[in-house]
Amino acid sequence: MKPGIRAAQPDNTPRTTAALSHVIGPASSGRSKCRGCGRPILRGDLRFGERAPNLFADGEVTLWFHPLCAAYKRPEPLLQAVAETCENVPGRENLERTARSSLAHRRLPRIDGAERSPSGQATCRHCRQPIQRATWRIRLVFYEEGRFSPGGFVHLDCRKAYFETSDILDQVLHFSSALSDGEREELRRACDTDPAGPALPQR
Ligand SMILES: [Zn+2]
Ligand SMILES: [Zn+2]
């Protein structure tokens, strides 16, 4: 496979933006950073490259992801790349299953992790009520034209109503690398209670 960074194409090269082809393969360097989680992609690790038109110059750009991060946040191009790759993609079944579930619920790709709200300033994107300080909230991002932008927050308790599924814990934890083990455990427990049902007795 060619090195990951490609020079901008000169003007006389025909541009076929309709046929951008994404790539999956081992990272040839340790210099790329995952667009999905912001962490480095280590040399030799499997990575997914989404090709997108360059908005600022001729040619295209490649957005690199860990394959699982892309399955969550960019399910469509990831599935396309997996389908077009002749070689056996490690973890293929899991990637496809994750991407299909992300595709089935249009808001799932927005999940960017969870945190305890550092202030009471933010409003929930679902119920429009303030998010109390120190309570759990889910971070959202929106993807547009090759970039993710911050998209606000939802209460953890609004997860089912907002995402239209309550099966979000794995994805939330995946993008919450800043949380300690203890916090992850608390989050897991908070997700055990069904926000739409009666409150479960305290353990
Ligand atoms: Zn990642
Ligand atoms: Zn809410």
The model's pLDDT over 131-174, given as tens digits with 9 standing for 90+, comes to 999 999 999 999 998 889 999 999 999 999 999 998 999 999 99
Across all residues in the chain, what is the average pLDDT? Answer: 87
Q: Starting at the edge strand that comes first in sequence, how are the strands of the sheet with 147-155 ordered? A: 111-116, 136-144, 147-155
Has residue 183 got a pLDDT over 50? Answer: yes
Residues having C-beta closer than 5 Å to ion ligand 2 = 124, 126-127, 155, 158
**Which of the ligands is closest to the CA of residue 112?**
1
Using alpha carbons only, give the angle 105, 173, 143 rounded to the nearest 5 degrees. Answer: 45
With cut-offs at 50, 70 and 90, classify the pLDDT of residue 2. very low
- Cβ atoms of 78 and 95 within 8 Å: the answer is yes
| Residue pLDDT, tens place only, 100-139 | 999 999 999 999 999 999 999 999 999 999 999 999 999 9
Nearest to 48 by CA among 18, 20, 79, 9: 79
pTM for the whole thing?
A: 0.84
pLDDT over 60 at 56, yes or no:
yes
Residues with CB under 5 A from ligand 1 (ion): 34, 36-37, 66, 69
* Tokens found for residue 114: 């969870």
- Count CB atoms within 10 A of the CB of residue 127: 14
| 105 and 62 Cβ atoms separated by less than 8 Å | no
d(CA 176, CA 25): 25
